[in-house]
Structure 1
Amino acid sequence: MAKIKYLLVDMSVLPDVYARVIEAKGYLQSGEAANSSQAAKMAGISRSAYYKYKDKIFEYSEQGDDALTINAKLKDNAGVLSSVMNELYLAGANILAVNQSVPVNNIADVSITVRFSDAQQITDDIIETIKNVDGVKTAELV
């Protein structure tokens, strides 16, 4: 079996059908299209063109590289996690994942993975703000 090789290519030099396949895949992913036939029609390509390229063309995204994880220990009180999430929202964070353990001795370990829009960076100030939320025992960026 031949090894798969990848290239990173500027879309402007490729045939329009490739961009339209990406567009059709987006319609399916977002739910705007109920099936591949509808997605292909919305993107202005044939079903055969969609099926020919759908498993070979992927949109490049740098977003996966800038995700940050915050680990915290929270008291098992109502609203503590919600207050932490609110502080992250106010700081411009997009919450990607939240994992919380079952509390032991009234303390739960929480891991929150976030991404900041507009190339904002999480700072020590935001971590300090989270630490100051009532019920937060510790918070650190990992």
Structure 2
Amino acid sequence: MTGTPRFYIVQEDILPEALIKTVQAKELLLSGEVTTVAQAVERVGLSRSAFYKYKDKVFPLQNWGRGRTVVISLLLEHRSGVLSGVLSKIAAVHGNVVTINQDFPRQGVAGVTVTVETSQLTTGVEQLLVLLREQPGVRQAVFLGEGE
């Protein structure tokens, strides 16, 4: 798949078992009931490779985009005002930036990872990604997963 990722809401009973078990394993980890991925996947009966394949791609609907921190990976052109524009877009939809990590620029672009607290977000995470991708100087904006 190329381009902007698309998202769907589907009923659980039509999902492959590996996707459901991935969500169950993530919930065990988030609750603190288990402390390692190995423990989580063993408990739900899933291979570690399947967990790592799907962990950043499947989320329960109630957890998608509200009231948590999310991690967004960006590829930005290395020029004045690009990062500032990204931060302004996040602020415009009431996202609260918790952390910013920027790699050293190479060949005119820099990788940036931003953790955003979403409890006050006036839009969903998917729409935030669309807004960021439309920002001049943003070459890529990808949802990496939930923050800690």
Q: With structure 1 as the length reference, what TM-score do the two structures score?
A: 0.51
> Compared with structure 1, are the counterparts of its residues 118 and 88 closer, same or farther at alpha carbon in structure 2 (3 Å cutoff)?
closer
Counterpart among 106, 122, 125 of residue 123 in structure 1: 125
Query: Which 4+ stretches in 1 moved above 6 angstroms?
Result: none
Partner of 1:83: 85
Q: Which amino acid aligns with 1:132?
A: E
Distance 2:69 2:123 in 1: 10
Residue by residue over 1:64-123, the C-alpha shift from the partner in whole angstroms, topping out at 9 and shown as x without a partner, is: x81100100000010000000000001111110000001010010000001023476633
Q: Choose from 75, 89, 93 the match for 1:73.
A: 75
Post-superposition shift, 1:126?
1.2
2:14 maps to what in 1?
none
2:124 aligned counterpart, secondary structure: coil
Question: Counterpart amino acid of 1:76?
Answer: H
More RCO (CA 8 Å, sep 6+) = 2
1:103 and 2:105 correspond:
yes
Structure 1 residues 90, 105: CA separation in 2 closer, same or farther (over 3 Å shift)?
same
- Measured in 2, the distance between the counterparts of 1:86 and 1:119 equals 13
Radius of gyration: which is bigger? 1
Q: Give the number of aligned pairs.
A: 78
Q: How does 1:1-142 map to 2 (within 5 A)?
A: 66-118=68-120, 122-142=124-144
Root-mean-square deviation over aligned CA pairs: 1.7
The code of the aligned residue for 1:124 comes to: E
Indicate the percent of aligned positions where both proteins have the same amino acid: 24
Matched position secondary structure for 2:136: coil
Distance 2:121 2:114 in 1: 18
